[in-house]
Amino acid sequence: MKNAVQRFGKFLSAMVMPNIGAFIAWGFITALFIEAGWLPNEKLASLNGPMLNYLLPILIGVQGGRLVGGDRGAVMGAIATVGVIVGAPDYPMLMGSMVMGPLAGFVIKKFDQAMDGRMPAGFEMLINNFSVGIFGMVLAIIGFYAIGPLMSAILVILRGGVEILINNGLLPLAAIFIEPAKVLFLNNAINQGIFTPIGITQAAEAGKSIMYMLETNPGPGFGLLLAYWVFSKDRATKDSAPGAIIIQFLGGIHEIYFPYILMNPFVIIGPILGNICAIFFFSIMDAGLVGPAAPGSIIAFLAMSPRDSILISVIGVAIAAAVSFLVSSPIIRMAGARSLEDAQAQKDSMKAESKGAAPARTGAEVATDAIQKIIFACDAGMGSSAMGATKFRNRIKPLNLGITVTNTSVDNVPGDADVVVCQYILQDRAAQSAPQARLVTLGNFLQDPNLDALYAELEERANGGAAAAAETAVTAEEPKKSSGKAVLMKEGIRTGLPSVSKEEAIRAAGELLNKLGFVNENYIDAMLEREKLVSTYMGMGVAIPHGTSTAKGTVKKSGIVVMQYPDGVDFGDEKAYLVIGIAGVGDEHLEILGRIVESLEDEELLEKLKKEADVDTIMKTFG
């Protein structure tokens, strides 16, 4: 249930967060130009209604459609969203757009799957355009007559529930659920699914909403971190707290303080009571923000405060911080805590689960002492699994266990594999391909708590004397040396590129592979299709987009291109600074992938490669 709610919240967040700039623009227009704003201007204030009622829902509908059905889904999402907007004119249809966008994407995706290979030659454009138009019209009509009125009724019920809480002084008790939900990564479901839609409606009528203040207040986390800074007995924790305070309070990244709670779960009482007191103060002062404070930093919190309420917002944050500090301090002083490192690992594991990554699971029962062959498997077996295998091979080499670590396509796992490591979305295919093997599922191949757990098992085996017993076993399988062909060349390296979308970055890498003669044009679409299957973000700021397993026929020869984005490219919640496009024939590209993995071990070099290195430096390091 928790994982399902986390994934749902993550999906809602994925629709809203790319458009948060539009929410901020609308918030500033409201704060500045309405009658009670900083610079009242009746003409400019007229922008408020169209942005709230049309722009924001349509943007969310477009993004929801794109997440499910690609670019065609985005167009369908826009058409369908207009139906719910017009069908429910009394309320901003953010909730309606969160339904219609994904629904539209799903419909067109299923149509495209049904038509795959069945379109008459020469009629592709006609069918593609008319299908979007016809299905879009049908969904807009459904939105007008059914979804719009239904969402309006739901909003009325939710608002009524909130008003009951406010009128009876019970709204502060929401903090009892909000603070634990944040630590469990359930806040996206609550924030994007409930608080933001209600807040939008309230702000449209009253110019502000207290709903925006419930989860984003940086005070509770600030007070907790301050207590650790002052009273923690662990030097590492004490020294880390000031940096965490800056990131949390000024940067708005609340996630930074979650490990401090996981170190000593009882300490969550401090943030809960702090937020309860702050919400109570905001309630009696009739406070509210004009728009979402995203991210939840003090800067955004104050920027979204009405002109006559900034002092109230400051006092509310201060109250939350003070109460959180006072309550947390004795708990921290009296109780022993786990190490921050262990708590961070737990947080990373929980975050992976919130993204839908399943924990390590057992297929066949394979004892640690019996492990002799570990296979890293991805869809095509040429990129992410190769890098993951190389990194893990290097990691366990000092253990001298003689374990073979290699990579392959998830559909071609050898029958003698003892452990298969794959991304969670591929686990069913891996289980079918290697029913005898134990499965370890993960979020990405370079950094994952489940890989750490597997390593810990093997390390314990080595320390227990199993290394000596394994001396006669097979040695770790190294990648074959390249044939001397130019897999990476200077013309395949681009540096200092401006930040673009993930799809644009992948397409740019594919176009460069095509330009250099490594692949034909069809491989570019296969790279984009591979990304839809499962992210090629590897961790540590590196992504390695490549084609699907069915696209190997479009590869002319092995090649690698390196695209450097100093400001990063968003791959979901992560940023990739090096986007390394790969086309592989056999094992010719594995040697360079090995050198790339080696460079990841040097943090200083990696930072230089991601943001500062020129073509010659990258060529010298990887080539």
311 belongs to a structural domain: yes
246 belongs to a structural domain: yes
∠ Cα 410 416 420 (to 5°): 40
CB 95 within 8 A of CB 143: no
12 belongs to a structural domain: no
Of the residues 254, 277, 422, 546, only one is catalytic, namely 546
Q: Is the dihedral of CA 67, 69, 71, 73 positive or negative?
A: negative
Residue 429 CB coordination number (10 Å): 16
Q: Looking at residue 480, what is its pLDDT?
A: 45
Residue 430 has pLDDT above 50, yes or no: yes
Which tokens hold the place of 407?
């990579």
Q: Looking at residue 263, what is its pLDDT?
A: 79
378 is catalytic: yes
User: Which three-class secondary structure state does DSSP give residue 470?
Assistant: coil
Return d(Cα 570, Cα 21) in angstroms, integer: 15
CB 435 within 8 A of CB 443: no
pLDDT band for 329, please (50, 70, 90 cuts): very high
Return d(Cα 285, Cα 402) in angstroms, integer: 68
**Residues 159, 78 share a domain:** yes
261 belongs to a structural domain: yes
In the numeric block, the tokens 């001397």 are attached to: 484
Where does 355-413 have alpha helices with state H? 384-396
Q: At a CB cut-off of 8 Å and minimum separation 6, what does 126 contact?
A: none
pLDDT band for 620, please (50, 70, 90 cuts): confident
Phi-psi region at 400: left, alpha or beta (left = phi > 0; alpha = psi -120 to 50): left
Domain boundary among 138, 168, 198: 168
Residue 510 has pLDDT above 60, yes or no: yes
**Residues 164, 278 share a domain:** no
537-539 vs 542-543, strand pairing mode: antiparallel
If one compares 448 and 29, the residue with the highest pLDDT of the two is: 29
Most confident residue range from 8-12, 214-218, 346-350: 214-218
**Residues 296, 182 share a domain:** yes
**Residues 377, 346 share a domain:** no
Domain boundary among 319, 354, 389: 354
58 belongs to a structural domain: yes
DSSP per position, 586-613: TTTTHHHHHHHHHHHT-HHHHHHHHHT-
Residues in a beta bridge with 582: 546, 560
Longest CA–CA span in the chain (Å) reads: 83
CB 488 within 8 A of CB 623: yes
422 is catalytic: no
Range of the domain at 543: 490-622
Residue 222 has pLDDT above 80, yes or no: yes
DSSP per position, 429-463: HHHHH-TTSEEEEES-SSS-HHHHHHHHHHHHHII
Cβ neighbourhood burial of 21 (10 Å; 0-12, 13-18, 19+): exposed
Return d(Cα 170, Cα 276) in angstroms, integer: 10
pLDDT band for 483, please (50, 70, 90 cuts): very low
**Residues 576, 518 share a domain:** yes
**Residues 542, 464 share a domain:** no
Return d(Cα 172, Cα 165) in angstroms, integer: 9
Of the residues 277, 378, 422, 589, only one is catalytic, namely 378
Mean pLDDT of 564-592: 77
Please give the backbone phi and psi of residue 476, each rounded to the nearest 5 degrees, phi first. Answer: -60, 130
If one compares 16 and 84, the residue with the highest pLDDT of the two is: 84
pLDDT band for 464, please (50, 70, 90 cuts): confident
* Mean pLDDT for the chain overall: 81
**Residues 373, 319 share a domain:** no
Report how far apart, in Å, the C-alpha atoms of 10 and of each of 3, 13, 67, 452 are.
Answer: 10, 5, 12, 25
- Tally of CA atoms within 13 A in the half-sphere of 69 that contains its CB: 28
Residue 451 has pLDDT above 50, yes or no: yes
Return d(Cα 179, Cα 176) in angstroms, integer: 6
Return d(Cα 273, Cα 324) in angstroms, integer: 7
Return d(Cα 255, Cα 331) in angstroms, integer: 21
Where does 335-419 have alpha helices with state H? 340-354, 384-396
User: Which three-class secondary structure state does DSSP give residue 467?
Assistant: helix
Mean pLDDT of 238-261: 85
Total structural domains within the chain: 4
> Which of these ranges, 12-26, 231-245, 386-400, 596-610, has the smallest mean pLDDT?
596-610
pLDDT digit string, tens, across residues 513-546: 889 888 888 888 888 887 776 677 877 788 888 8
Return d(Cα 441, Cα 518) in angstroms, integer: 32
**Residues 316, 377 share a domain:** no
**Residues 617, 498 share a domain:** yes
**Residues 244, 133 share a domain:** no
Return d(Cα 16, Cα 109) in angstroms, integer: 21
**Residues 239, 159 share a domain:** no
**Residues 604, 506 share a domain:** yes
CATH code at 578? 3.40.930.10
CATH code at 385? 3.40.50.2300
- Name the strands in the sheet holding 404-409, side by side, starting at the edge strand that comes first in the sequence: 404-409, 373-378, 419-423, 438-442
14 belongs to a structural domain: no
pLDDT digit string, tens, across residues 257-284: 888 888 788 899 999 999 999 999 999 9
480 belongs to a structural domain: no
In the numeric block, the tokens 């594919």 are attached to: 510
Domain boundary among 121, 150, 168: 168
Long-range contacts of 392-398 (CB under 8 A, 24+ apart): 392/421, 392/451, 392/455, 393/476, 393/477, 393/478, 394/597, 394/598, 394/601, 395/455, 396/455, 396/458, 396/476, 397/476
416 belongs to a structural domain: yes
